[in-house]
A and B are shown apart, each in its own frame.
Chain A
Amino acid sequence: MDDFLAARSQMALSLGFHIIYACIGMVMPFFMAVSHYKWLKTNNEVYKHITKAWSKGVAIFFATGAVSGTMLSFELGLLWPKFMEHAGPIFGMPFSLEGTAFFIEAIALGFFLYGWEKLNKWFHWFTGVVVGVSGLASGILVVAANAWMNSPAGFEYVNGQYTNIDPIKAMFNDAWFTQALHMCLAAFTATGFAVAGVHALMILKKQHTDFHYKSFKIAAAFATVAALLQPISGDISAKDVAQRQPAKLAAMEALYKTEKPAPLLIGGIVDEKNKTVSKAIEIPGALSFLAHGDFKAEVKGLDQIPEDEHPPVAITHYAFQIMVGLGTIMMVISVTYIIVLWRRKTVLNSKWLLKLFVFAIPLGYIALEAGWTVTEVGRQPWIINGIMRTKDAVTPMPGIAWSFYLFSAIYFSLSLIVIFLLYRQIKMVPVLYQSSNTDSWNK
């Protein structure tokens, strides 16, 4: 494996790993805040148990998110020093604000996890909310940094020099809002479906149904709302991409030739050598509409873009198909859930629906990773769109492949342990939350 490829793979691996934990860290505090609130309001012990059970899972995810995030802030330099040398001062603003957000999050988490008996109960609840809000803020900020890579702003690039730097403008670049919105919704969709699915599974196994059904309802509420909004936000993103990164849009849709009107391709097999797509379903004019809001508009194909600026088409196209496909499935599940709930007031006796949620456990996360693949691979060969090429940014140190293997092994084993721990947490629910006296298990 050559060093450049290794560096790219290591970056992708670390981010792909971090993002899962980060999303859980962003979203779970809100779920906990809801059940915590219900407990404080109704005094129903079950809600207290749910909050505690969730908070233990969150502590595990949080630690993993924090260490992998620390890793990332070094990795940007370890792998892409040339990029950071120039980009650091320009796109660093969100990172410096993010530092504050992380800090507040870490402090609030300390209060929340260890404050059960020590704090005023509403202050304690509030610290939980602070964890969520600052987590969400960090997510938005870091995505604004990434958006800058897609849509560089806040500087002038003359003769290889970066001048007239304005970090505030860089932060509020053209892409930050659409990307951040889509990302936050994705975090809620993915985590919501995963959590709801796990509790649905336990309901189907007839274990502690009251506990799991209450948990399921909270998670599913967030998941359905987010999944319904996701395609709308995705459509805004697509229009945005069409404006600022026509090469990425063309790769997403495997559009080799400029067409007017352009059809939307669903599925299909991409042949990068011959620049063709076979076996795809074509919807005439739909791409023109998606990209420009007009069924007759012209959509730029890859033929209008210099060959050496083409992103890898197949990966981008497949990843996009996966994301949109899964997004559609989750939207359909959400609609079904709402209808069933509205008709029957409960989903407990709709086994098929609960099974559908179990099936959906991994879907959100797969879509999330696919979405990032679209954004990142679709930006290639650029690390800063149109300004700096990824291969010019890579570290001069040889032997990155070893580092990649090593970190792959580490992340792989960490993932296994986290899954194992989570399995144990869930298995212990009946034991730990059987009686109303849970205080022996407070720490």
Chain B
Amino acid sequence: MEQVVIIFLCLAILLYFLLGGADFGAGIIELFTSEKNRSKTRNTMYHAIGPVWEANHMWLIIAIVILFVGFPLIYTTMSVHLHIPLAIMLIGIIARGTAFVFRHYDAVKDNMQGIYNQVFVYSSFITPLFLGIIAGSVLSGQIDLNANNFADAYIFSWLNWFSISVGLFTTALCGFLAAIYLIGECKTVEDKKRFIKKAEYMNIAAVVFGAMVFFSAAMENVPLMNWVIYNKVGLTAVSLASLSLVLLWYLLLKGKTKILRLLAGFQVTMILVAISYAHFPNFIRLKGGEVISLYTTIGPDKTIQSLGWALVLGSLLILPFLGYLFYKFQQKEE
């Protein structure tokens, strides 16, 4: 059952990154869309994510529940030492979710819309930024359990170049995912062109921030190179990610939009595999070289058994229903 629980944890994180990420990305794209095209972008986006956004964000809840039930020490270490970025991310989640729904369900469409839009786009940017910062901090080796002052314990645990680079990289990836996703939802050629442009920008941003991640890793002694270059699986994954990127642009220029999503998803999956495989099952790297591993902190046997069963049975109920939801709302309304 241990394996089952860990697989579900990885799956929940991955799916949150892909589906929730595309969802955040849609807001980021809106942020970087010129005023005159915004309402069009908004409509395309609304049709694409309206029915599924709640479900997309459930993956985060699933991941958190698995963590606190199955791996309590990981959950509490993050909660204590990454309190501040977690709180900021939560504010982002609250602001974004409510603004998204409010702007659609406000019975009177007046200048309140402007406020909802502002809140929505900025929180769409802040939230993945801090999610990325949190993910980066977990790997950064800056979490110091023995710190004896506030700044070391609660600030520098996440405020460092590596974490911030990972945050920016994450944000760019979300934007990229969303642009690719939205290309497939467009009804006119002109719209399609706009999203292809966006995808290009986001791709450039991702490459720049990706480089930044490597630089800051070298600066702050995160053995990123060891994970992605000197590790067979890591290297393979990175190569596949790069290859799929090339393929993706080739297909895009050819005008084949259907499989783009799969490729983009595959690419992001490979990136996640690359950075996590080499140090699996270590989950948190602490200052001083110690690590918190999934296996050493795993909860008691009976708990893992029942958690595993709950996840398996739950997914038997959820997945067909979820698949049908995506299927039903994918069908183009011609």
Which residues in A have some Cβ–Cβ distance to B below 8 Å?
A: 56, 59-60, 62-64, 66-71, 73-78, 81-82, 84-86, 88-90, 92-93, 95-100, 102-104, 106-111, 113-115, 118-119, 165-168, 395-399, 403, 406, 410, 414, 417, 421, 424-425, 427-428, 432, 443
Complex Cα distance A100/B311, Å?
A: 8
Complex Cα distance A109/B54, Å?
A: 9
Contact partners of A165 in chain B: CB under 8 A: 299-300, 302-303
Nearest CB of chain B from residue A114's CB, rounded to whole Å = 4
In this complex, the member of A75, A98, A114, A167 whose beta carbon has the largest number of chain B beta carbons within 10 angstroms is A167
* Contact across chains for A73 and B61 when beta carbons are under 8 A apart: yes
* Contact across chains for B299 and A88 when beta carbons are under 8 A apart: yes
Does more than half of chain B's interface fall in helix, strand or loop, or is it mixed? helix
Contact partners of B302 in chain A: CB under 8 A: 165-168
Q: Choose, from B62-70, B252-260, B287-295, the stretch at the interface.
A: B62-70
Residue count of chain B within 8 Å CB distance of chain A:
60
When A167-B303, A421-B102 are in contact, do A84 and B76 touch as well, CB less than 8 Å?
Answer: yes
Complex Cα distance A97/B102, Å?
A: 29
* Contact across chains for A103 and B314 when beta carbons are under 8 A apart: yes
CB-based nearest A residue for B303: A89
Contact partners of B322 in chain A: CB under 8 A: 103, 107
* Contact across chains for A96 and B54 when beta carbons are under 8 A apart: no
When A71-B93, A78-B86, A92-B68 are in contact, do A395 and B79 touch as well, CB less than 8 Å?
Answer: yes
Contact partners of A86 in chain B: CB under 8 A: 72
* Contact across chains for B75 and A93 when beta carbons are under 8 A apart: no
CB-based nearest A residue for B94: A67
- Judge if B52 is at the interface, Cβ distance under 8 Å: yes
Given contacts A85-B76, A106-B54, A395-B79, 7 further A-B contacts (CB under 8 A): A69-B61, A71-B94, A81-B80, A88-B69, A111-B328, A119-B328, A395-B80
Contact partners of A76 in chain B: CB under 8 A: 68
Complex Cα distance A86/B91, Å?
A: 27
Complex Cα distance A376/B78, Å?
A: 26
* Contact across chains for A67 and B107 when beta carbons are under 8 A apart: no
* Contact across chains for A77 and B75 when beta carbons are under 8 A apart: yes
* Contact across chains for B328 and A99 when beta carbons are under 8 A apart: no
When A59-B105, A168-B306 are in contact, do A104 and B72 touch as well, CB less than 8 Å?
Answer: no
Contact partners of A75 in chain B: CB under 8 A: 90
Nearest CB of chain A from residue B322's CB, rounded to whole Å = 5
Partner of A84, one of B61, B68, B93: B68
* Contact across chains for B94 and A77 when beta carbons are under 8 A apart: no
Closest 5 pairs (CB-CB, A-B): A92-B69, A77-B79, A100-B314, A89-B299, A63-B101
* Contact across chains for A110 and B68 when beta carbons are under 8 A apart: no
Nearest CB of chain B from residue A203's CB, rounded to whole Å = 20
Nearest CB of chain A from residue B59's CB, rounded to whole Å = 9
Complex Cα distance A60/B100, Å?
A: 10
When A74-B79, A78-B83 are in contact, do A96 and B307 touch as well, CB less than 8 Å?
Answer: yes
Complex Cα distance A428/B106, Å?
A: 10
When A77-B75, A397-B154 are in contact, do A100 and B310 touch as well, CB less than 8 Å?
Answer: yes
- Judge if B32 is at the interface, Cβ distance under 8 Å: no
CB-based nearest B residue for A97: B310
- Judge if B207 is at the interface, Cβ distance under 8 Å: no
Could you list 28 A-B pairs, sorted by A, with CB under 8 Å?
A56-B107, A59-B104, A63-B98, A70-B94, A71-B94, A75-B90, A78-B86, A78-B87, A85-B72, A85-B73, A85-B75, A86-B72, A89-B72, A92-B65, A92-B68, A96-B65, A97-B314, A99-B314, A100-B310, A100-B313, A103-B55, A103-B318, A110-B329, A168-B306, A395-B80, A398-B150, A424-B107, A428-B107
CB-based nearest B residue for A163: B300
Nearest CB of chain A from residue B197's CB, rounded to whole Å = 28
Nearest CB of chain A from residue B97's CB, rounded to whole Å = 4
- Judge if B210 is at the interface, Cβ distance under 8 Å: no
CB-based nearest A residue for B97: A67
Contact partners of A88 in chain B: CB under 8 A: 68-69, 72, 75, 299
- Judge if B321 is at the interface, Cβ distance under 8 Å: yes
When A78-B79, A95-B69, A396-B80 are in contact, do A113 and B314 touch as well, CB less than 8 Å?
Answer: no
In this complex, the member of B73, B106, B322 whose beta carbon has the largest number of chain A beta carbons within 10 angstroms is B106
- Judge if B262 is at the interface, Cβ distance under 8 Å: no
* Contact across chains for B55 and A106 when beta carbons are under 8 A apart: yes
Complex Cα distance A421/B104, Å?
A: 11
Complex Cα distance A117/B157, Å?
A: 51
Contact partners of A90 in chain B: CB under 8 A: 303
* Contact across chains for B98 and A167 when beta carbons are under 8 A apart: no
Complex Cα distance A63/B97, Å?
A: 6
* Contact across chains for A89 and B300 when beta carbons are under 8 A apart: yes
Nearest CB of chain B from residue A41's CB, rounded to whole Å = 25
- Judge if B108 is at the interface, Cβ distance under 8 Å: yes
Contact partners of B52 in chain A: CB under 8 A: 110
Complex Cα distance A252/B306, Å?
A: 37
Contact partners of A64 in chain B: CB under 8 A: 98, 101
CB-based nearest B residue for A426: B107
When A95-B65, A421-B106 are in contact, do A66 and B97 touch as well, CB less than 8 Å?
Answer: yes
Complex Cα distance A111/B322, Å?
A: 10
Partner of A103, one of B58, B299, B306: B58
Contact partners of B184 in chain A: CB under 8 A: none
Contact partners of A102 in chain B: CB under 8 A: 58, 61
Nearest CB of chain B from residue A314's CB, rounded to whole Å = 32
Complex Cα distance A97/B66, Å?
A: 11
Complex Cα distance A77/B50, Å?
A: 30
Complex Cα distance A68/B94, Å?
A: 7
* Contact across chains for B300 and A60 when beta carbons are under 8 A apart: no
Q: B153-193: which residues lie under 8 A (CB-CB) from chain A? A: 153-154
Nearest CB of chain A from residue B300's CB, rounded to whole Å = 4
Nearest CB of chain A from residue B114's CB, rounded to whole Å = 14
Partner of A424, one of B79, B83, B108: B108
Partner of A81, one of B57, B79, B303: B79
* Contact across chains for A77 and B68 when beta carbons are under 8 A apart: yes
Complex Cα distance A102/B310, Å?
A: 13
- Judge if B60 is at the interface, Cβ distance under 8 Å: yes
Nearest CB of chain A from residue B171's CB, rounded to whole Å = 20
Contact partners of B79 in chain A: CB under 8 A: 74, 77-78, 81, 84, 395
* Contact across chains for A84 and B65 when beta carbons are under 8 A apart: no
Complex Cα distance A98/B64, Å?
A: 12
Nearest CB of chain B from residue A313's CB, rounded to whole Å = 32
- Judge if B51 is at the interface, Cβ distance under 8 Å: yes
Contact partners of B50 in chain A: CB under 8 A: 114
Partner of B101, one of A60, A69, A395: A60
Contact partners of A397 in chain B: CB under 8 A: 80, 83, 153-154
Nearest CB of chain B from residue A429's CB, rounded to whole Å = 9
Complex Cα distance A142/B94, Å?
A: 21
- Judge if B204 is at the interface, Cβ distance under 8 Å: no
- Judge if B219 is at the interface, Cβ distance under 8 Å: no
